[in-house]
Amino acid sequence: MVGKLSHSHSSISSGVFFEPENVEEPEALTIIIRRRISGLCLENDMYQRFLRKVGEVSRASHFQIPHRASRARILSALGRDKSMGRKIKILKAEEKCTVARNEIEEYNKIFKQMRNDFLLVYCEYSASLEGMQTVANEIDQNRSILNRYVVSLLAHEDKQRAHNAFMHFHRTYLRQLGNSLTNMHEENTFFRTNLKKIKRQLKGRESAASNPQPVDMVALELQCATALARFQQLSGVCSQKKERLRECNRGMKSLEDSLDCELKLHQKLEREIMQRGFMVDGVKTELVARRKSSIPDEFENQFLKSILSCGTTPKIQDFVNVLCFHNELSAKMKEAKRKLRIAKMSFARHKKIWNDAQRQAL
């Protein structure tokens, strides 16, 4: 650029100095003088630049001439400005080449510095890309491990639920069979006792029919009153037991509600883990898309780093927390089932006492 500029300046100056002098029109003379002055100003600027770099003198002030000034005004301005006549100098070809060579060397230094800066920025960008690739690989590994553990946890939970349901049905069925067998034995014993009692009564009535005796109504009324008091006492005890059973049922219902709430919370945590896995997929897709596209600048690199640093990706600790929560929930469910089994056994025992009381009253 400098070489072209100096060449154009030299051509202008040479054309200006070798123009014919027989021009008579004032406008043409004004144009010629303006061209000479502009060429001298340009060469003077080049010379002052060269002297400033060498360190001999400071840069001189520019002498500006308006484009539409008349010839008389230009000559009068040149006559008044005595300092400009001392500072304007026509450069030779060697001086022009020296100035151009110095400017080219300076521009080469600037270009080398810019190239080194570009190489440093490119190295930083490559390092950031490697770091992003490492983070993406770690995300893939953590997500695969998390998916494997979550799938195994869900499968184990389904199997455990099916096994618990079968065991509950089997125990209930065996309990009902045992209760039926006990009831059959009790009914058989009751029938045998009644048969013996009826036989004794029949024999007594047959003997009484042959030997009539007076009936003691006072003793019979006393016996009936005692039996009625005993029946009322047993009725009160059964009412208390029924009230306790209702309280146990209410407590069991509240426990079942709390277990349902905790199970819903557990399912919510599992859904959040799956959503975090999907978020990791989205970040990975965006990272791959940006890597396949054109080379991003430093601001886009910082943006991706901020996304990767601020993203809440699932880790092994999340799976451990979910597993601990699942174990706690299983322990609570076992405790609730144990309490329910105790309540049912208590109800069966109270029912048996009530049946015995009814039979004794009869």
What are the tens digits of pLDDT across the range 314-339? Answer: 566 666 777 777 778 778 778 877 87
Do 98 and 50 form a contact (C-beta atoms < 8 A)? yes
Phi, psi at 88, each rounded to 5°: -75, 130
Structure tokens at 294: 């054109």
Find how far residue 21's CA is from the centre of its chain: 86
Closest CA to 322 of 259, 266, 264, 263: 266
Give the whole-angstrom CA distance, residue 18 versus residue 7.
17
The pLDDT tens digits for 44-79 are 776 676 666 555 433 334 444 444 444 455 445 545
Q: What is the mean pLDDT of residues 344-351?
A: 77
Closest listed residue to residue 40, CA positions, set 91, 2, 78: 91
pLDDT reported for residue 91:
58
The pLDDT of residue 186 is above 60: yes
pLDDT band at 85 (very low <50, low <70, confident <90, very high): very low
**H/E segment holding residue 47:** helix 26-54
Residue with tokens 């003088």: 33
If you average pLDDT over each of 190-204, 208-222, 292-306, which comes out highest?
190-204
Q: Which two tokens stand for residue 48?
A: 């002052």
Report the pLDDT averaged over residues 171-179.
81
Coil, strand or helix at 215? coil
The two structure tokens encoding residue 314: 């699932």
| Per-residue confidence (pLDDT) for residue 181, from 0 to 100 | 81
User: pTM here?
Assistant: 0.24
pLDDT at 119 over 70: yes
- Whole-number Å distance between alpha carbons of 121 and 129: 12
Average pLDDT taken over every residue of the chain: 70
Whose tokens are 């060469």? That residue is 43
> And the tokens for 106?
């300076």
| Cα–Cα dist 153/325, whole Å | 12
CB 340 within 8 A of CB 171: no
| Contact (CB, 8 A) for 2 and 105 | no
